[in-house]
Amino acid sequence: MSFATYMTSTSIRLKLLALFVAVVLSACGGSSGGPASSPAGGITVVPGNGQVTVSWTPDSGVQYWLWYAPGSTVTTTTPGHLTKVNVNSPYVLTGLTNGATYAFAINGRTGGGAGGALSTPVTAVPRTAGATWTAGTTMGSAEMRGASYGTAADASLNYLAVGASGSVFKGSDGINWTTVSTAPAVNFNATLFTLSQFIALGATGGTNNIYRTSDFVTWTAPLANPGAAQNLNALASNGALLVAVGDNGTIQSSTDGISWTTATSVPTTDHLYGVTYAASGLWLAVGANGVLFTSVDGKSWTARASGTTNTLRSVAASTYLTGYQYVAVGLGGVVSRSVDGTSFAVQTLGTTDFYGVNADPLQILAVGSGGTAYTSSDAVTWTSQTTGTTNKLAGLFGSPTQYIAVGAAGTNISSR
């Protein structure tokens, strides 16, 4: 190698080294600016369902990093620690394991400089929701009956709540709500987000009782809705098929939310109030006089003995490590449960009238009259929870991170 070639090669290596050092310094905070003091008062960590909310009093011009790790403490060298950069208070950290202890701390920097000392670590244990409830902003005086969550046309994530007299509200966090003034003046009973659209249904309104929207501005009625003469009370989806149930044994299905077909093999004229789809491939519908039906295609239905003549208002299904759990709830505190979708056992929880139930792999939640809420991990042993309201809870939505319950006199509460 010639001297000139050697010098050129060396120069290139030195430049690459300088660039690498600059990148490393930049990743570590650079040299401009410097460390900031920990926030006055430290941090507060509130556990939720698979998540925590970390809050602190920020100082102007300071960028904060959140450090966390499984266990009782965290430092910048703790094995397995993780970080979130440029976080703002309050910060919701998701993806945590319920029942596990985590330690959290933050540090700050200015001008992209090196980070300061960590705040005193705080521990928290994420837990299933349903024990602690927060009241949301007012939704007027009408009874709210259903809630859903999904992605609008502008890619924003929204909760949607519907109720009587065209009462429709949206919000990004399940706590703060704004009126959707463009909604039809329909007595809405339920809502669901599926097939990239929000579906809302309810009482008969001329020729339509099902509406869909993707932007909360334009609400479109179905092209074909042979069940429009009946009030519709609930709907469910498996991602490819929509099923709506209503008065006088009405069951309708749709693959697009536009054209609907009425099932002709439903052996009842009782009103139907609840429907769900289970990961096992089974559909369940429930209603007045304790009627309960199952279906493998959402079109042909088979009557099952629910074990009660009390009106069943809601039904849900969950997947457990040991199998499936199907749970229907109704008036008079009745709970009808099954592990196979064929044989059901019944128990009664006081005199509460249940109107909503949600099931996930960790927990079942039932809500109803008087602001009542019960949680259970097995649908057998139940724990009464305090919701902070005595109003009827008529509708319930459960997401991976929180519950939304809505009800009489514009009641809306959430639990994380």
Say whether pLDDT at 89 is over 90.
yes
pLDDT in tens, 163-199: 999 999 999 999 999 999 999 999 999 999 999 999 9
Cα end-to-end span (Å), the chain: 68
Mean pLDDT across 405-413: 98
- Lowest-pLDDT range, 186-200, 249-263, 317-331, 365-379? 317-331
pLDDT band at 124 (very low <50, low <70, confident <90, very high): very high
Torsion of CA 373, 378, 381, 384, to 10 degrees: -10
pLDDT in tens, 270-321: 999 999 999 999 999 999 999 999 999 999 999 999 999 999 999 999 887 5
pLDDT value, residue 32: 60
Say whether pLDDT at 332 is over 80.
yes
pLDDT in tens, 2-26: 434 443 444 545 444 444 434 444 4
pLDDT value, residue 404: 97
Token digits for 192? Answer: 């669901």
pLDDT value, residue 222: 85
Beta-bridged to residue 322, according to DSSP, are none
pLDDT value, residue 111: 85
The class that CATH gives domain 34-124 is mainly beta
**Reduced to 3 states, what is the DSSP secondary structure of residue 56?**
strand
Say whether pLDDT at 396 is over 90.
yes
pLDDT value, residue 206: 62
Beta-bridged to residue 225, according to DSSP, are none
Beta-bridged to residue 151, according to DSSP, are 157
Say what the pTM is.
0.82
Residue 197 CA to residue 193 CA, distance in Å, equals 6
Residue 41 CA to residue 163 CA, distance in Å, equals 43
pLDDT value, residue 14: 46
Q: b/e string for 253-265 if b means 16 or more Cβ within 10 A?
A: bbeebbebbebee
The helix (H) or strand (E) run that includes residue 37 is none
Say whether pLDDT at 246 is over 50.
yes
Residue 382 CA to residue 380 CA, distance in Å, equals 6
Say whether pLDDT at 223 is over 90.
no
pLDDT value, residue 10: 46
pLDDT value, residue 399: 80
CATH number for domain 134-415, candidates 2.130.10.10, 3.10.20.30, 2.40.50.140, 2.40.50.100:
2.130.10.10
Query: Contact, 252 vs 234, CB < 8 A?
Result: no
pLDDT in tens, 348-357: 998 999 999 9
For the chain, give every domain's residue range: 34-124, 134-415
Say whether pLDDT at 119 is over 80.
yes
Q: Which residues, other chains included, contact 241 with Cβ-Cβ below 8 Å and sequence gap of 6+? A: 253, 254, 255, 298
Cβ count within 10 A of residue 218: 11
Torsion of CA 267, 315, 340, 349, to 10 degrees: -110
Alpha carbon separation from 260 to 12, 83, 274, 291, 390 (Å, rounded): 69, 49, 18, 23, 38
The residue among 410 and 226 whose pLDDT is bigger is: 410
pLDDT value, residue 54: 97
- Lowest-pLDDT range, 50-59, 229-238, 312-321? 312-321
Beta-bridged to residue 47, according to DSSP, are 52
